[in-house]
């Protein structure tokens, strides 16, 4: 996909951050891998005001290849994840309410529901706390996401990745929905966790789930 097409898709999806309830105001950021590095949303610009020319392209050294605005303050985290995960091409970082609430406890979302395994692991891990926009936060996120398509960021929010922008956005929504269900289950007396074997079986089932032979 061309950079212009990626820019247009970034604008389209980040414009849904507020309406989806995944982020509010200017919080959160979205990026997509490009031929020379990655395209990322700028810092501090309301989503409704973004144009394709406002999306910044960076190389993996952090140099601006194209764009006049400052990139998201979380660009080091995006860079670190792209460098560590060759299997993904897009990253969505949001401060969704329920996922952020769980992240503030500095605990993972455990094996309370089989849908946790759609993200590739038997839990949704929580990365150790670090100040936003730092290399330390980037390193913590990379470690937490080694075997998962998403993680919580302690006292911060969540980050989800995917093979494309639509998938990263979908996974961010899955994390928020699971976080809400987990909090409700705690209020109802606490969930009964699924076994390790059951979660492993569901991880395997999701590798082919929803895929049609055409």
Alpha-carbon gap, residue 120 to 152, rounded angstroms:
14
Query: Regarding the domain delimited by 3-206, which CATH topology (the fold level of the hierarchy) does it fall under?
Result: L-fuculose-1-phosphate Aldolase (3.40.225)
Alpha-carbon gap, residue 116 to 12, rounded angstroms:
27
> What pTM value is reported for the model?
0.95
Please check whether residue 179 is in contact with residue 129, taking contact to mean a CB–CB distance below 8 angstroms.
no
Going 172 to 162 to 30 to 156, the CA torsion angle's sign is positive
What pLDDT does 99 receive?
98
What pLDDT does 214 receive?
61
What pLDDT does 2 receive?
92
Give 169-212 as a DSSP string.
HHHHHHHHHHHHHHHHHHHTT-PPPPPHHHHHHHHHHHTTTTPP
- At 33 the three-state DSSP class reads strand
Give 95-150 as a DSSP string.
--HHHHHHHTTT--B-SSSGGGGGGTSSSB-EEPP--TTSHHHHHHHHHHTTT-SE
- Taking only the tens place, the pLDDT of each residue in 2-33 is 999 999 999 999 999 999 999 988 899 999 99
**Phi, psi torsion values for 151, nearest 5 degrees:** -155, 160
Q: Choose, from 9, 57, 74, 174, the residue flagged as catalytic.
A: 74
Tens of pLDDT, residue by residue, the chain (214 residues): 899 999 999 999 999 999 999 998 889 999 999 999 999 999 999 988 899 999 999 999 999 999 999 999 999 999 999 999 999 999 999 999 999 999 999 999 999 999 999 999 999 999 999 999 999 999 999 999 999 999 999 999 999 999 999 999 999 999 999 999 999 999 999 999 999 999 999 999 998 876 666 6
What pLDDT does 79 receive?
98
Catalytic residue status for 74: yes
Residue spans per domain, the chain: 3-206
Alpha-carbon gap, residue 148 to 126, rounded angstroms:
11
């Amino acid at each position: 996909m061309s950079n212009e097409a990626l820019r247009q898709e970034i604008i389209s999806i980040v414009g849904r951050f507020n309406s989806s309830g995944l982020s509010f105001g200017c919080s959160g950021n979205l990026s997509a891998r490009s031929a020379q590095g990655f395209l990322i949303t700028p810092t501090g610009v309301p989503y409704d005001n973004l144009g394709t020319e406002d999306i910044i392209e960076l190389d993996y050294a952090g140099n601006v290849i194209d764009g006049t605005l400052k990139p998201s303050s979380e660009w080091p985290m995006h860079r670190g994840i792209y460098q560590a995960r060759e299997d993904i091409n897009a990253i969505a970082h949001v401060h969704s309410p329920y996922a952020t609430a769980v992240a503030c406890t500095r605990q993972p979302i455990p094996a309370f529901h089989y849908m946790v395994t759609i993200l590739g692991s038997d839990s949704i891990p929580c990365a150790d706390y670090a100040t936003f926009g730092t290399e330390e936060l980037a390193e913590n996120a990379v470690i937490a996401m080694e075997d998962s398509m998403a993680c919580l960021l302690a006292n911060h929010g969540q980050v989800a990745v995917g093979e494309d922008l639509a998938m990263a956005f979908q996974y961010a929504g899955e994390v928020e929905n699971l976080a809400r269900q987990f909090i409700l289950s705690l209020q109802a007396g606490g969930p009964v966790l699924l076994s390790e074997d059951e979660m492993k079986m569901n991880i395997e089932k999701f590798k082919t789930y929803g895929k049609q032979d055409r």
